[in-house]
Amino acid sequence: MALNNVCRPSPARSTLPSSRDERIIYTPLHPVCAQSPSAPRTASLSQSPPHSYHRGPRRSILLRSHLPRVRAANLTGSNDTPLRQSLYEDPLDDTDEDLSDVPSDYGGSKQTKKLKLRARDRWQRYCAAKASEPAADPQWFDAEEALQGASAKDLHRFWNWVLGKLERGKGGRKLKGTKKTSSLKSDWKYFQGYYRKVTGNGISEKMSEDVRRGMRSLADKHGLDNQPRENIPVYIEDMVPFNQTILRTREKRFHLGLQRLLLCFYNMLGLFTVNRESAILNLRYKDLLLSVQRDPHGGPPVPTVDFRPEFIKRNLGMGKLGHSNTFVLPEIIFDVSLVFSPHVFLFGFLFHAEAFENSSLRSMEDVRKLVPADGCQELPLPLKQEMDNWYIFCKVDVQDGQVRILRDTPMSAGTLDSQLKSMSEIHGFHNTFFSHQFRYGGGKLLDESGE
């Protein structure tokens, strides 16, 4: 029997609304409402479809069995606390989570961790040097014990040793040394963090004042430069000839031509993203969104490159962007030589690594032949998932006499800085070029724009 013709009188409950257009939900949790005594016995609820509407003279009734929603509604009243407690019990705290298992530098940047480790290693090497002296104080045999009992005089001698005698670093490599007082202040900051971690307390104000006074004296003694570095911005007009020098010079040799291309591509990303060196070097294949877009003006399809939102939030410092926002890498045809065209370089790296899932894509000519399907605005170009953690700026190293491309290892910031410095000298820049100059140019443009 169809339920459309079944009419039920309105329930005489004061808690039910009386609007003509309101629907009342009947479920098995409401046995009185589900089978009203005045309703015809032929209209069984078991025969009702899950979403059947019953027309009555006063209101419409929706019959369905949506238990979780009804229970939630029944527990909202202030008188239902006993019922709530009977249905739910608080779980026991039987986990083994311990705050002491979380490293003190958890979540910090790799560079910060590196500088903290350097402060620890320097102190340990200094203690080893002191312990090797004739009739050495026993405290120097344990670096942490020595730090806990160290005085301002001990720390002053430590910094004199770092500035004047420490010449070799990890692996016996020659250190470039501390040249600026700002670098010395930065080292002191990280050393204080190491001191706090070992002793459980910060350096006292009196001791800190004495050490800083001694450091000013050591800065003069060792000829540290206390003048701030000039903020010289760079623009695309500066970088195009610089890239040309990188590609054609013979004054500096590279193991592979790939290294020259990566250095050029870094200059492009540094200028376009105006971001930190470490953020750019962390760019991986999985952070890319490649596609062929339909030209709204009716021209040929356009290859596009986007950075995924996860990379933008994690590395580019744009954490307030929505989950679907991407950063579009523009294609620039600034010069006929294409030495500053990001898409040409990036697609070249991907073709060289055979990174596309579509194995027939081996050149830009193959990409430009692709056309989005009718009714679609883009055609995605997915990369192989097994290459997700490969780095765009990968490391090139010599192992067992063979030059190898370590795509799962990023190029180090030290390697990049060294290459930029030597190439800027070859190019003839008045001052040594460094990565942060990209940010000066972008910052200046933002200041002048008034936004």
Rounded Cα distance, 131 and 136, in Å: 5
Residues of the chain with CATH 1.10.443: 236-449
Query: Which letter does DSSP use for residue 16 in this model?
Result: S
- 288: which residues sit within 8 A by CB, 6+ positions away? 305, 306, 307, 308, 346, 383
pLDDT of residue 446: 60
For 405, the enclosing helix (H) or strand (E) is strand 402-410
- If phi > 0 it is left, if psi is from -120 to 50 it is alpha, else beta; for residue 107 that is left
pLDDT at 79: 57
Tell the burial category of 48 from Cβ atoms under 10 Å away from its Cβ (0-12, 13-18, 19+). Answer: middle
User: pLDDT band at 296, cuts 50/70/90?
Assistant: confident
- What beta strand segments (E) does 146-222 contain? none
Residues 6+ apart with CB under 8 A from 382: 290, 356, 357
The tens digit of pLDDT for each residue in 381-428 reads 999 999 999 999 999 999 999 999 999 999 998 899 999 999 999 999
What's the CA gap between 429 and 420, in Å, rounded? Answer: 11
Closest CA to 315 of 340, 284, 347: 284
Rounded CA-CA distance 317/360 in Å is: 36
pLDDT in tens, 10-37: 444 444 444 444 444 444 444 444 444 4
For the residues of 295-329, what is the DSSP string, one character each? PTTS-S-EEEEEE-HHHHHHHSS-TTS-TT--EEE
pLDDT computed for residue 349 by the predictor: 97
**How close are the terminal C-alpha atoms of the chain, in Å?**
70
Distance from C-alpha of 121 to C-alpha of 276, rounded to nearest angstrom: 26
Per-residue tokens: 154:
């001990």
Do 349 and 356 meet the contact criterion of CB atoms below 8 Å apart? Answer: no
For residue range 219-271, list pLDDT tens digits in order. 999 999 888 777 788 888 889 999 999 999 999 999 999 999 999 999 998 88
For residue 271, with 0-12 CB atoms within 10 Å meaning exposed, 13-18 middle and 19 or more buried, which class applies?
buried
DSSP secondary structure code for residue 412 in this structure: P
User: What's the alpha-carbon Rg for the chain, to the nearest Å?
Assistant: 35
Q: Residue 447 above 70 pLDDT?
A: no
pLDDT per position as a tens digit, 196-231: 999 989 999 999 999 999 999 999 999 998 887 777
Asked if residues 283 and 451 have their Cβ atoms less than 8 Å apart, the reply is no
Q: What percent of the chain has pLDDT over 90?
A: 48
52-55 β-sheet, strand order: 23-26, 60-63, 52-55
DSSP secondary structure letter of residue 173: P
Q: With bands split at pLDDT 50, 70 and 90, how would you rate the model's confidence at 449?
A: low
DSSP string, 92-141: P------GGGS-TTTT--HHHHHHHHHHHHHHHHHHHHHHTSTT--GGGG
Going by DSSP bridges, is the β-strand pair 52-55/288-293 parallel, antiparallel, or unpaired? Answer: unpaired
State yes or no: pLDDT of 62 exceeds 50.
no
Highest mean pLDDT among 168-172, 317-321, 363-367: 363-367
Average pLDDT of the residues of the chain: 80
CATH architecture classification, 236-449: Orthogonal Bundle (1.10)
Q: Which residues pair with 24 in a beta bridge?
A: 61
Give tens-digit pLDDT for 384-397. Answer: 999 999 999 999 99
pLDDT of 67-123, one tens digit each? 444 444 444 445 556 666 667 788 888 788 888 888 877 777 777 888 899 999 999
Q: pTM of whole model > 0.85?
A: no
